[in-house]
Amino acid sequence: MTSHKDELRIQAYLDNQLPVEEVIKIEERLTVADKVRLENEREFEAALVAKFMEDADCPETLWDETKLGLRSRIDLNSRRKFRKLLSSRWLAAAAIVVVAAAFLSFVSPESNNDTPAVEILFTQEFNDIRKFLEVPGDLKKVHQSLAANELPIAIKAPDVNGKHDIQLLGMRYHETAGQKIAQLYFSCCGKPLMVFLSKDSVNSIADYVHIVYDSETMYSVNNVIDNYRVLIIGPHSPADVLGLFS
């Protein structure tokens, strides 16, 4: 059964209120059906907001309708049943009150992993990249190092003359709670991208690394390739860099 804390966490996910590492953890565990369902929920709440913004006189029955919405406890399973009740704009407003109440009571969820995460300062590391590199951006040396650290995943050579001008800049390692995580630095179209590699036995790389960034738009992709977990994050679409690992 879904707990109240889980419901609040999903609501924060729908409202885009979670940090990127929490979003990654949630999306790792979502099935295709879950993603479709949650996208429907997001569209539904957007429609509620639009309806709430419409001008209308306050009806005398607003409080009764609001209490009705509260009793229905809009959660992930009951929203669809409650949707039929939202035939008027003021019932939509009542639903917004419930959503707002859930948001105000939200407390950022704590990770179940007690292991302190390694903090990654995204912009600072790229600005002073030579200080952090343990392995230079030579693909042969990167492959040799990964094999020596039991992470022998195959990486294709970037096409520097291709459409996106992908370059491998180098690599370093992190070890926490007995887990070895490789961190690779790439650039794509002149924009920085970080790639984190671990064994697939690691449920979520985000449990072990905390990425701090100052860009308003950050893209991320998480995948499992050849029994290794691959997490890519940066201000450029990671699709082409991900293609180097498949």
Q: What total of structural domains would you count in the chain? A: 2
**Strand, helix or coil for residue 141:** helix
Statement to judge: residues 148 and 50 lie in one domain: no
Q: What is the pLDDT along the chain (246 residues), one digit of tens a residue?
A: 466 677 777 777 777 777 777 778 787 777 777 777 777 777 777 776 666 666 555 655 656 655 555 554 444 445 554 454 444 544 555 555 554 444 444 433 444 445 567 889 999 999 999 999 999 999 999 999 999 999 999 999 987 666 788 999 999 999 887 889 999 999 998 899 999 999 988 878 888 888 888 766 788 888 889 889 999 999 988 989 999 996
Statement to judge: residues 100 and 123 lie in one domain: no
Using a 10 angstrom Cβ sphere, with 0-12 exposed, 13-18 middle and 19 or more buried, the burial of residue 180 is: middle
Statement to judge: residues 99 and 157 lie in one domain: no
Q: What is the pTM of this model?
A: 0.56
Last residue of a domain, one of 74, 104, 134: 104
Statement to judge: residues 128 and 66 lie in one domain: no
Statement to judge: residues 150 and 95 lie in one domain: no
Statement to judge: residues 124 and 238 lie in one domain: yes
Regarding beta strands 135-136 and 166-176, do their DSSP bridges make them parallel or antiparallel, or are they unpaired?
antiparallel
- The per-residue pLDDT for 204 is 80
Residue 192 in domain: yes
**Residues 151, 202: contact at Cβ < 8 Å?**
no
Element (H, E) at 80: helix 79-83
- The per-residue pLDDT for 102 is 46
Domain with 215, as residue range(s), is 118-245
Statement to judge: residues 131 and 45 lie in one domain: no
